Structures are given as C-alpha cells and as structure tokens.
Structure 1
Amino acid sequence: MKKHTPSFCMLLALVGSMAAASAQHLAGPGLGANPQLPAPDKGALLPTVNIAPALGWPEGVVPQAPEGFKVTALAAGLDHPRWVYVLPNGDVLVAESNKPAPAEGAKNVHADGLRGKAMGMVMKRAGADTPSANRITLLRDADGDGVAETRETFMQGLVSPFGMALVGNQLYIANADSIVKVPYESGQTSISAAPAKVTDLPAGANHHWTKNIIASADGSKLYATVGSNSNIGDNGLAAEEGRAAIWEVDLATGSKRLFATGLRNPNGLGWEPESQALWTVVNERDELGNDLVPDYLTSVKDGAFYGWPWSYWGQNVDARVKPANPDMVAKAIAPDFGLGSHVAPLGLAFSDGRMPAPYASGAFIGQHGSWNRKELTGYNVVFVPFAAGRPSGAPVQFLGGFLNKDGKAHGRPVGVALDAKGALLVADDVGNTIWRVVRAQ
C-alpha cells in the first residue's frame, strides 16, 4: 500500500492541534419549525451575487470546533472532495468530483443561459469550476491517530460520482447520470471491475448534478436524490421531468418510482435513529430576497409534494412561475425545519449517541454557503438537536472558521459522516481536505 508524506495540515493533526470555540446558537429569519417569512423581493434584472472567493487554508489554521473537541486533517491535498462514506471496516471513501463535462459535440452553455454564464464566472472565482476528477479515493487510518497514512485510488473513470452505499457485497455509486454497482470485499483498497448500471437517473443539462443515495435498512431498496434543472423551471417543465425529487429504486429488479417530489435540490439523506424515518436537506429557490426562501431539513413522506416550483414552505405561491398551478399548490406540504435562506445545506449525518452531550442526538449538516445574499451565511457545519425523532431546539454552529474576516473562504463544507470511532468527518471541497472532529482526550 502507498504511504504519503503528511502535508502541513496532517502535521498539525500529528501534534494534536486544537481549534476551540464556544458553541454558537444561531438565530435569525428562516430558522425553526415555523419561520416567519418576509414578503418576496422581486429584485433586479440580475440577482444579488455575493460569494466568498476561494482562498484555501493558511499554514497553522484549521476550522473551529466547540471547546473540548480537536480538529485534524484526515487527508489534505485532495481534488475537490465532495462526499464521504465510511465502510464497515473503518476505511473512508471520498468522492472527488465536480459538475459533468458537456457531452461531446454539445455547446458548453449553462442551463440558465446568459444569467447562468455570469454565475459560472462567479463560481469559478469561488473554486467551484474545476474539472471533475471523476474518482473515488480510499483513506485508511490504521494506527488511529486521526491521519490517514494510506491513500489509494479506489475507483476512477466515473461520471461526477457523489453518493455511495454498500449493500452486502455490492457497492453502489451515484454518478451524475445513473446508479452503478461493483463487487466489494472488506479490506479492498481498489476496484478493477467495470461498474454495472443499475438504473439511469435524470441528467441532461444537469443544473444540479449531485446525486446522493442511501439504502433501506433491509437492503432491498435505494433512495436517490435528483435536483432540479433550474431555479424555478426556467427551462420549461419538460426539462424537469423526474427531477426535484427523491426516487425509490428496487435493487432486485432495477425498477424505480418517484418517492417524493417538489424538492428543489435535495442532497444529504439520513435515517433518523429513533423513528427510522427518512430525512433530507434541501436547497430552496433563489432570487426572492436575502431572507427567502429558507433552505430546510425535513422528513420525507412517501408520495408527498413539497411545492417546487409553484410554491415554497407549503402553499406560499411563487408568482414568477408560469403558468400557475393551484391544484399542485393545494397539495404542497411544509417542510419540518428551516435552516435559514441561502445557506446551501448539502451534508446530513445523524448522531448515534457516540458524540458527547449536547451532540448525542440530532443532525449534523454541512452548509456550503450562500451566493444570493448580501450578507454571507452558511459556510459551516451546524447541529440541530433532536428529541423523540423530531428537531427539538435551535441549531448551533458545530464547525466554523471557514470564512476569514475579509469574507474569503478557506473552505466550504459539503458531505459529513460519522467514522468508525464516532468522530465527525467533513468534506471540504475548497480546502481540498477531509476534516476530522473528535472529542479531545
């Protein structure tokens, strides 16, 4: 197996660098079970654009965790790491991925036209426009010091891979256009078998390209997230067919059905430990003002419609969407818990009791950060406490310091997961690092 010389971030881990901060209870509009919603701001011809330019992590600087926790770099120097998945033997898989390249012969035009082109330039400034590595990397920390001394290319040649799920001896990967599978044996550090397609997923222009998956408890089904093709159906509803939804895939047959719809861009998925209900985090629509529309955390009900594109937070009509559809609006249900507007929640991992109080029961959420807001928000990992299977209090910031005082981004959190020892792993796609947060001994 390969051995890699630790980067400066790993050296920080070796000396047990600690980043301590008081837990910050978050307050403001768009938070909680019944957020107060302001009137929509129709806005100007072009949207408010304010995104933190990508800076990277200076030597000696790491994210800030609450007092009593230690932050180390499990691995640094990765290529746009978006998602993490922990295998039963403790190995960590990292999807190094970005948006798909245009199909051969296709024009390189963003799904949102001229406005999309302008946004593409902004995203490049934010470190979000690099070519996709199309790779899954395996990390192994055999000696338990919080630094992966083994790093191997586990799979390559994928199509903007994101979500992963192991069911028995089959590893499933969500590409931008399909779910594929490969055989896996515990301890493997690389896969040479060609992936077999399980089912196609809606793709095309792929405005929201990330596809996540999670397996049911009995391993018979996968649930797959598919984001919308646009902000509010800008490219016509035909381009949204099968999108803004969560699909249920039968692994025995490969057949699938729509499980829930009207979810503009669902990403993280998790089974809440007490109720065993499926939950997700969703990026809502833009360009209605600084404090609209709240992104959210919600349980996912079979057959439910959550409003997109015709309405938001239940039956609040978005008058921009034409033609109107009052019948669909009447069916829309409100989500469970607002996270604030434009925070861009992507990662979701439920605490399973291995974290100390007050983090023993609840949801960790990786928030990628805003672009359509005058004041930056998100760019952190928050914790929402749960009791009796439901959110039970205001969110608190669990991991911060991703923005510097000048509003530039050292990093941006995406996927989160609990590792084999109960530490929180955070994929940072601007800092190109997998951070590990553990209670200090």
Structure 2
Amino acid sequence: MELSLGTLPRGRRDTRPGRLSPWVALALVVAIGVNVRAIFGVTPPLIPVISEDLGMNATTASLLTSLSVLAMAAGAPLGHALASRVGADRAMISLFAVLGLAELSRLVIGTAVPLVVTAGLIGVFLGAISTLAPAFISHHLPRLRGLGTGVYSTSMALGVALAAGTAQPITDRAGWRFTLSLWGVGALLLVAALVVLSLRGLGIPRTTGPRERLALPLREGRAWFVTVVYSVPMFLGFGVIAWLPTLFVDHGIDPTTAAVYLVCFQLVQFLSILTLAPLTDRIRGRRGVFATAMVASTVGTLMLTWEPHDWALPGALLAGFGIGGASTLALVKVQDEATSPQDATRLSSMCMLFSFTAGGAAPFLMGALKDATGSLVPGFGVCAAVSVLSLPLLIRMRPAGQPRWGDTPK
C-alpha cells in the first residue's frame, strides 16, 4: 500500500543564491520556531475566558487546539507541493503571510464558529511551514545542521512558553481577541524580513528537471515503530498543554499561577532537549536516554492525575521534561533508521502525518471526557495510561547503526 506525498524535485539547481551568515540564519530559525508554536501556548490559558465569553462547552473549546494539530497533519503535504511549484522561499513567505492574516482576523471574531475555523486554517499553514523549515536550515547552515535543528526545537518550546507567559497579562489589559491576534503581527514581521532577504538573492535555490514521486513506507515495520515512538509524546504533549491550566484552575489554583506552571512545563523542556539529545551523539545506545524521558513523562502524568493541586508543579516539571525529551529523541530515532536523505523524508513525513493526528485527537478526547464526567482527571488518566503502555517500546529500541548517507565512522 502506498500513499503519495506529492513530488520532490530531482535535478540540478537553476540558481545558486548566497547564504546568510550563521548568526542571521540562526536568528531567523529562532523566529520561525517561535511563530510555528506560539499559537499552542497562547490558547490554553485563555480557554476559560473564551469559553465564558462565547458560551462554549469543553468539547468545542478543545477544537481550538485539537483542530489546529489535526490540520497540521493535513497541511504537511502542502509545503512540499507549494515549494515544488514556486520555490521554497516564495512558499515560506506566502504561508507566513496567510498565517499572519488568519491570526489577525481573530481581532474581530465574535462567535465560536469562525474562531474554530481560523484554528483549522492556522493549523494547515503551520503544517506546511513545518515541512519547509528543515530545508531552510540545511541550505543556510550546511555545516551546522545539528545546531540549527537544536535551536529550532528549542525555539518552538520557547514560542509556547513565551506565548503562555504573556497571554494572561495581555488579556487582562486588552482582551483575549487582541492577545490571540497579536501573534499575527510577529508572522508578518517575519514575512518582511524574508522578502528583503529574497530580493537580495539570499534564498534557497529552486530546482529544475524531472520530479521523483515519494510514497509513505506503510508496509515497513521500522516505519511504524518510529511513527509510534513519535506519536506518543505528540499525544501527551498536545493533550497536556491544551488542558493543563484548566486542570489547575478547576482544582483551586488561580489563573495566573496556572499560567506560570504552564510556562514551567515548557521551560523544563529546554533542559531535556539540551541534555538528552546531545548524548545521542556520544552514546550509540538508545534505551537509556529514551527510558529517562519516558519514565519522567509517566511519573509526571500520574502525579497530575492523582493529585493535580498538591503535586501540580512537580508533576508539570516531570511531564514537561519527559515529553520534551521524548519528542526530540524521536527525531533522532528517525535519523537512526533512515538509509538516505530521501528515506528520512519518507519516514519523517509518515511520522508527521500520524503523530499530528494523534496530537490533535488528544485535546478533543480530553475535552469530551470532561463534558461527560465533569472533570479533566479522566483525560489526564488517559495520558498517564498511554505513557505507561509506551514503556514496552524500550524493548525494541536498538542502538544507532553505522553512520549513514555520507558520514564516515569516527
């Protein structure tokens, strides 16, 4: 069974634009990472006030996060398709432009339906942009790809933390509509910077020649293994981040403190990203680093389920450390299993499709359980159960193989 991903150019480059200096490229990588994840930080702290203002139940409110994530899965092929037609530079500029406009439109929204629709549109654009970011890093940072990828991952976590930490103070002064739409300004400022660089010839060169069709490796066991490994932290991450502030508020923690705990949940991910992932460059074994992340997320989600008030902060810290680490390690595992750059594209595309679907299902499922039971505890119990059931994956967690596609053993 094969599922087409569209086409990838196969041929020579028709131009050879200059590259950005490493510092400028890294600054843009930070800006891209912050913009593609900020929406997932700014929305959760505002769900109580938005729900009260627009009269939404928990299931409908969950769509503000879950629909965006599901739409990211649907929008992922759009990035490759658009880049193959107009080039990666124009594709990224166009996508950030419509993303900014979609976010700005929330300033005038007065009912639940258009707000949910914009959540879906924003998700499509984010999914498409996510597929273009690796090409940006590879072109402008050819000798610093590992650093660029680490900075990109860290910037995404930073975007969530920054948006979550500023959401409540800005809302107290200007309202939730202004808070949601504010990030559209950031996207349009990034568009302006990318346009200037493109006009100066500092962009990713387009390719010419015949195009090679790629298909998802749906019949390969290794592909399903890495997909499950990647889907678990996505399910946990998007589910927890969507409802963590509401869980705390429901159990007597004031909204400002709940938002601070959400920021802590994100900030601790920096620690796991910057400690566990670099270890994989030195240690071929994978069970130890994965076990550290997976056990931490399991204990953290169990604490949030069992005692969401008294164990709020330690539970959030452990869950954040584990989920952040597992997400980054899953990307490393994709590289472990890939046999070529093209194979890495196939594997990562399959992982993205199914993991974003899992990530989008989590907030919706937890919201539906809240409506059915009157509490978020059962939803967090599902997260804890998923984390526990993922532990047997460690049995098949093989060490990294010999260096692939061009690298030489050291």
So what's the TM-score if we normalise by structure 1? Answer: 0.24
Compare the two structures and name the one with the higher strand fraction: 1
Which structure has more RCO (C-alpha within 8 Å, separation ≥ 6)? 2
Compare the two structures and name the one with the higher helix fraction: 2
